[in-house]
Amino acid sequence: MLELLWAVLGLLLGSALGGFAGIRWSANAANARIRQHETEARLLVEEARSQQKELLLHAKDESLRMRNEAEAELREARQGLQKQEERIQRKEENLDRKIEGIERRERQIQNRERQIEQLHQEAERLKDQQVAELERISALNRDEARSIILAEVEKEARDDSARIIREIEQTAREEGDKTARKIISMAVQRAASEYVAELTVSTVTLPGEDLKGRIIGREGRNIRAFEQITGVDIIVDDTPEAVTLSCHDPVRREVARQALLKLLKDGRIHPGRIEEVVQKTQLEVDQLMREEGERVAYEANVQGLHPDLIKLLGRLKYRTSYGQNVLHHSLECSLLAAHMAAELGANINVAKTAALLHDIGKAVDHEVQGPHALIGADIARRLGRAPAIVHAIAAHHNDEEPQTVEAFLVQAVDAISGARPGARRETLDLYIKRLEALETVATSFSGVQRAFAVQAGREVRVMVQPDSIDDLASIHLARNVAKKIEESLQYPGQIKVTVIRETRAVDFAR
């Protein structure tokens, strides 16, 4: 036990001595670090003092350098200002000299103006003297001389204008004819179709002569009923096995023709049966006209037509003009107008629609008074067609003055379709009257000796008196004759006017 206590005491004593020794070593180490830090601090202070001296020296050098640079810049600025002042002074001296020169020139100009004014006055005085002398020599006053001079100038101007017109017309004719031929030939080639002149059917062939009595009926009741129901006159004459139907309305005449053929085929002819067959035939013809109108509108690619326009268009199936079927003519005109409008860059829809409807007035011209062109234009206007289409319809026979390209195209295609070989026929009397009218128009001008219509009325040759009309005046005469033909006559296609001036010198050898 005692040993244990001594051991504990020894252990405690050892621990105390070890702690005292450790504490003393720590204090010595702390003192050493303090001394080291003091040494480092003294070194840093000395280094900072040396750097401060260096910075002061550097700042002094830098300030000295900047001062020297500022003084150098100031000297340069002073030198620049001095040079600028010298330049300004030289410029002021030059400006003063220029001002003196300008003032001197102004004085010279004023002197020259005074001299020019004097010369002008002198020239006016000499001019008045010369005019007075000329009036005394020529025995003419100023107004008379002016009239003579103006007359000469007018004559020369007229001659020059005629010559220029001839050159322009020749050039335009060469180029225009070439382009027109190309466009028309392409359009006609694309829309080429055959034509056979049609005759208005007004004669019905009978299977036998005895049927005439059945058509007339007892005491004429059958023929009276037929004429009253159809509005068509039946002419029963000595023509063997045939009767003639007469009516100004081609649709009623067609209804009567078909109804009569049905009655003859059926054999039962009496007033009740006549009324029944005529009503049925009327419905069939109306349906056929609508179908024909729709077919033609479809082939012409014209859409959006009013149903009444379709029906009127179909009525043209039974209308002819100089033997040409008007419905076929209208379709051909529409196709031609579409092709030509495409070549010329015009409105294709307006051109083809107006061309298709341009003769629509012929469907009702037996019911309405007036030119068929204006009738058709009024119908198109009331049924909602565009103003451009209405104008083209109204102007295709110059009942209105054409104002648009499409109106001129409708005129052209109408003439082309009507003038094609075999398209139309004309009676001899009308043909002779048309040629006589051409010659009468040409001979109505003074200086014309004779006129001849040649080439079936497509050219008129005018023989003039060479003493009355010179070469330039003959150009004016050709234009005036052509213009009067356009204003006073109606004709298909175009008419060529040729003025011939012939001078003959005759002598005899003896």
Q: Is residue 70 over pLDDT 80?
A: yes
Tell which wins on pLDDT, 9 or 313. 313
Report the alpha-carbon angle 118-123-127, nearest 5: 150
Q: Looking at residue 419, what is its pLDDT? A: 66
Q: Is residue 372 located within the same domain as residue 410?
A: yes
Asked if residue 488 is part of any domain, the answer here is: yes
Q: Looking at residue 194, what is its pLDDT? A: 45
Secondary structure class of 10 (helix, strand, coil): helix
Asked if residue 195 is part of any domain, the answer here is: no
Task: Classify residue 218 by its DSSP letter.
Answer: G
**Tokens describing residue 263:** 């009655």
DSSP 457-494: TTEEEEEE-TTT--HHHHHHHHHHHHHHHHHH---SS-
Q: Looking at residue 198, what is its pLDDT? A: 42
3-state helix, strand, coil in the chain (%, to 5): 70, 5, 20
Please list the alpha-helical segments (H only) found in 360-420.
Answer: 372-382, 387-394, 405-419
Question: pLDDT confidence of 14, banded at 50, 70, 90?
Answer: low
Q: Looking at residue 255, what is its pLDDT? A: 86
User: Crossing angle, helix 271-300 and helix 250-266, to 10 degrees?
Assistant: 130
- CA distance linking residue 275 with residue 180, whole number of Å: 55
Q: Is residue 469 located within the same domain as residue 336?
A: no
Share of the chain above pLDDT 90, in %: 1
Q: Is residue 415 located within the same domain as residue 482?
A: no
Asked if residue 159 is part of any domain, the answer here is: no
Task: Classify residue 397 by its DSSP letter.
Answer: T
Q: Is residue 289 located within the same domain as residue 222?
A: yes
- CA distance linking residue 255 with residue 289, whole number of Å: 12
Question: What is the count of structural domains for the chain?
Answer: 2
Single out the residue of 273, 253, 271 nearest to residue 262, CA to CA.
273
Asked if residue 87 is part of any domain, the answer here is: no
**Tokens describing residue 370:** 């007036």
The model's pLDDT over 154-168, given as tens digits with 9 standing for 90+, comes to 777 777 777 777 777
Using CB atoms within 10 Å of the CB of residue 407, give its burial: 0 to 12 exposed, 13 to 18 middle, 19+ buried.
buried
Q: Is residue 408 located within the same domain as residue 443?
A: no
**Tokens describing residue 163:** 């010559």
User: Crossing angle, helix 2-138 and helix 142-190, to 10 degrees?
Assistant: 130
Secondary structure class of 460 (helix, strand, coil): strand
The model's pLDDT over 395-414, given as tens digits with 9 standing for 90+, comes to 888 788 888 888 888 888 88
Which CATH number do you get for residue 302?
A: 1.10.3210
**Residues 318, 347: contact at Cβ < 8 Å?**
no
**Tokens describing residue 171:** 């050039």
Lowest mean pLDDT among 343-357, 382-396, 416-430: 416-430
DSSP 282-343: HHHHHHHHHHHHHHHHHHHT-----HHHHHHHHHGGG-EETTEEHHHHHHHHHHHHHHHHHH
**Residues 327, 292: contact at Cβ < 8 Å?**
yes
The model's pLDDT over 264-305, given as tens digits with 9 standing for 90+, comes to 887 788 888 888 888 888 888 888 888 888 888 888 888 888
**Span 363-385, mean pLDDT?**
83
**Tokens describing residue 344:** 């010329």
Q: Is residue 438 located within the same domain as residue 295?
A: no
Q: Is residue 189 over pLDDT 60?
A: no
What count of Cα atoms within 13 Å lies in the side-chain half-sphere of residue 79?
6
CB atoms within 10 A of CB 350: 24
Phi-psi region of 105 (alpha: psi -120 to 50; beta: other; left: phi over 0): alpha
Asked if residue 254 is part of any domain, the answer here is: yes
Asked if residue 19 is part of any domain, the answer here is: no
**Span 227-240, mean pLDDT?**
80
Question: pLDDT confidence of 192, banded at 50, 70, 90?
Answer: very low
Q: Among 419, 443, 459, which residue terminates a domain?
A: 419
Q: Is residue 453 located within the same domain as residue 477?
A: yes
Q: Is residue 232 located within the same domain as residue 273?
A: yes
Q: Is residue 227 located within the same domain as residue 336?
A: yes
- Beta pairing, strands 324-325 & 496-501: unpaired
Q: Looking at residue 215, what is its pLDDT? A: 79
The model's pLDDT over 435-474, given as tens digits with 9 standing for 90+, comes to 888 888 888 998 888 888 876 677 888 989 888 888 888 8
- Beta pairing, strands 496-501 & 459-464: parallel
Tell which wins on pLDDT, 410 or 48. 410
Q: Is residue 305 located within the same domain as residue 396?
A: yes
**Tokens describing residue 42:** 């003294």
Which CATH number do you get for residue 487?
A: 3.30.300.30
Q: Is residue 486 located within the same domain as residue 384?
A: no
Q: Looking at residue 200, what is its pLDDT? A: 44
Q: Among 419, 450, 480, which residue terminates a domain?
A: 419
- CA distance linking residue 175 with residue 206, whole number of Å: 60
Q: Is residue 272 located within the same domain as residue 213?
A: yes
**Tokens describing residue 134:** 């000329």
Lowest mean pLDDT among 304-318, 382-396, 452-466: 452-466
Q: Among 419, 451, 483, which residue terminates a domain?
A: 419
Amino acid present at 376:
G
Asked if residue 30 is part of any domain, the answer here is: no
**Span 373-393, mean pLDDT?**
89
Q: Looking at residue 196, what is its pLDDT? A: 39
Single out the residue of 342, 315, 341, 336 nearest to residue 420, CA to CA.
336
Asked if residue 21 is part of any domain, the answer here is: no
The model's pLDDT over 72-129, given as tens digits with 9 standing for 90+, comes to 888 888 888 888 888 898 888 888 888 988 888 888 999 888 888 888 888 888 888 8
Range of the domain at 309: 203-419
Secondary structure class of 496 (helix, strand, coil): strand
Single out the residue of 350, 345, 249, 360 nearest to residue 296, CA to CA.
360
**Residues 406, 347: contact at Cβ < 8 Å?**
yes
Order across the sheet with 496-501: list the strands. 448-454, 459-464, 496-501
**Residues 334, 355: contact at Cβ < 8 Å?**
yes
Tell which wins on pLDDT, 123 or 145. 123
